[in-house]
Every structure is written in structure tokens, then in C-alpha cells.
Amino acid sequence: MKVDYIIVGIGLAGISFCEQLKAHSKSFVVFDNASQQSSTVAGGLYNPVVLKRFTSVWKSEEQIDLALNVYENIEKRLNVKLDYKIPVYRKFASLEEQNDWFTASDKPRLTQYLSTKLVKSTNEAINAPFSFGEVLTTGRVDVKTLIETYKTDLLKDGLLIESDFDYDVLESDDAMVSYKHIEAKHIVFAEGFGVTKNPFFSHLPMVPTKGELLTILAPYLNMEVVLKAGVFLIPLGNDLYTVGATYDWHDTTHDVTDKAKKELLDKLEKVINCDFTVVNQVAGIRPTVKDRRPLIGKHSDYGNLYVLNGLGTRGVMIGPYVAKALYEFIELGTLLEPEIDIARFK
């Protein structure tokens, strides 16, 4: 089999790169062993503001415009609903936080995203004496449905090989890479935390960050917005809500823990005062980087081996943006931005 690209990994990064290849009529095959769960346990929010500090997300405007177009194209092609437009409310803990919000709303990159109208709480189930601030241009991508549907479509077309990738079998020269019965012009590793076991890119400073989420059933909460108040509370419909997320830089297993559950419940109970039941708990390892920028680029010794990784906690937004950057780097020779180029770690 001869293709233009081999892709290893089909999380948010891999899907984003597949979309670039489809848009430019490039042939490809994907390997995935379902070992990485960071994408499948993601909350899926796209939000252009860092709500802890009221600052703009890096390249937020460029990222959102591109990402929403990519997800809309997937929805149309696969006949599936993925993008749910939903407001994000930031709960204020004090009058000082209100003032900080209004100060931030005057900044050039934040004016279009931070509403200057205070939102009073009319929901008796939510403790919010200092009201909310509304973030604009926000929503949720159903990442679990995205990955499941995308993989099913790849399988239907014979483009997905569900197996481990054996690095020892990969051969590369200046013109081609070969892997078992497959020859390709390029190979892109989009493995998430799994890249730490990849001998070609394991030197990169990946910082695994475990995150855990709860799903609760809260029939009396009646909330139709995403709430940020120590934790994110995301409505899923049918009285179900996602509560998240935790950050653990030491545990790299996919096992759920009582410690994380207690942490989330302690924070949640400071926000809502209605009855609820925990119906699920999941865990995954986020591929994060010390400088909070993705890992994109070419291997220093093998000219047709590339990495697309380190999307961190905002993979829904940043995935399509960096996938486009990598594609144009490979095919057009466009330089990567220094902030994301793995050459910064030489």
C-alpha cells in the first residue's frame, strides 16, 4: 500500500490533521490502539478566555474561527451533531472580581469576548451572591461522539488500523517511510501522552497531567449554561452535568480515584445547593508541555517524521490551528511559529 501519510493516533490532534489531508485530497492511513483517553474524557469546551486570570487564550480568535469551521464540515459530512453553542458564565467571588472583569473587558483582545452586563442569579440551586460574567463565542464539542463517529467512518473506508505501532519496524530515508506493507511520504505522530514511549520524540518535555471528571444527575439544578466557579459545570441534557476537572502531575494511570472525586465534590457543594447523584467518573492523561504551547515539528535527523502533540487542556480549540500549521510546514515550506516549533527545545 502506498499513501501520502501515515498518522499514528486518532484523538483531537489526529482528527484535525486528517481533516487537513482530506481538504487537500491527500491519501493516508491511521494507526490507533485506543490506549490514550485524554481526548475521550475532555470536557470539550471552546472558550477564548483564561477565566482564572481574565486573559486572552493564545491566538484565540484565529483558533476559534478555524476550529468551528472544521467541526461544521465534519458534522455535515458524517451527519452528526457535535457543536453545541452554549454560554459560559464565570461566577464572581467578590466585588473585586467584578471590577477585574470590567477592567479586562476593555483590553483589545478581550472586548469581543467579555460581556459588560452583569448576569444576576435567578436559580435558587446556585450560590452566586456576586452574580456572573458571561463569556461570548463559547460552546461545547461532543468529543466522545466526534472520535467514535470519526473512527467508524475511517474503518468503513479501510483507513484505520486498530493496533499498536511497532517503532522498531519503521524505516525511513530521504524520500519515503515504510512500515510493514505500507509506504508513505511522511509520518505524523499524534499520540498524546503515548509519545513518551516513542523513541523518535520521547526527548520532548512532555508533562503528563492526569484529569478526572464526574458526571452527575441533578434533576433540580435546571441549568442551561456552562458555569465556571472553582470547577466547570457543563450541562449535557436530561439533567446530566459534567463536573471537572482535576490536575494531577504525579499519577499517570487511567484509574479513577476517591481523592479526585472528593476534591470535585467539595468544590461543587460550594456552588450548588440541590440534591444530585454521581453517575460516572472518568480519568485521562493530558499531553501538556511546560511552556503551555503545543509540540509541532520535524525530527532533527529524519526529514519525514513529524510530531503533532501537546494540545493540553484546550485541544478542541487549538487542534485544527496547529494541524493546519503542520500541514503547511510540510507541504508548502511555511515556517512554524517559534512558540510551537519543537526546535525551541534543541
Pairing relationship of beta strands 226-229 and 88-91 according to DSSP bridges: parallel
Over its length of 346 residues, how does the chain's per-residue pLDDT go in tens digits?
Answer: 999 999 999 999 999 999 999 999 999 999 999 876 666 567 899 999 999 889 999 999 999 999 999 999 999 999 999 999 999 999 999 999 999 999 999 999 999 999 999 999 999 999 999 999 999 999 999 999 999 999 999 999 999 999 999 999 999 988 899 999 999 999 999 999 889 999 999 999 988 889 999 999 999 999 999 999 989 999 999 999 999 899 999 998 989 999 999 999 999 999 999 999 999 999 988 888 989 899 999 999 999 999 999 998 889 999 999 999 999 999 999 999 999 999 999 8
What span, in angstroms and rounded, lies between the C-alpha atoms of 159 and 186?
16
pTM, to two decimals: 0.94
HSE (CB half, 13 Å, CA atoms) of 248?
A: 23
- Listed residue (28, 29, 36) closest to 11, CA to CA: 36
**What does the pLDDT read at residue 5?**
98
Checking 267-271 for CB contacts under 8 A at 24+ apart, the result is: 267/230, 267/231, 268/214, 268/216, 268/231, 268/233, 268/243, 270/127, 270/229, 270/230, 271/91, 271/126, 271/127, 271/227, 271/229, 271/230, 271/231, 271/233
**What does the pLDDT read at residue 40?**
59
Pairing relationship of beta strands 240-244 and 231-237 according to DSSP bridges: antiparallel
Helices 60-78 and 143-156, axial angle in degrees (round to 10): 50
CA-angle at 199, arms to 193 and 204, nearest 5°:
55
**What does the pLDDT read at residue 316?**
95
Q: Are 324 and 298 in contact (CB under 8 A)?
A: no
The residue to which cell 470519526 is assigned:
150
Domains in the chain (CATH in brackets) are 2-43+144-206+291-345 (3.50.50.60)
Q: What's the distance, CA 168 to chain centroid? A: 30
Helix (H) or strand (E) holding 327: helix 315-332
**What does the pLDDT read at residue 274?**
96
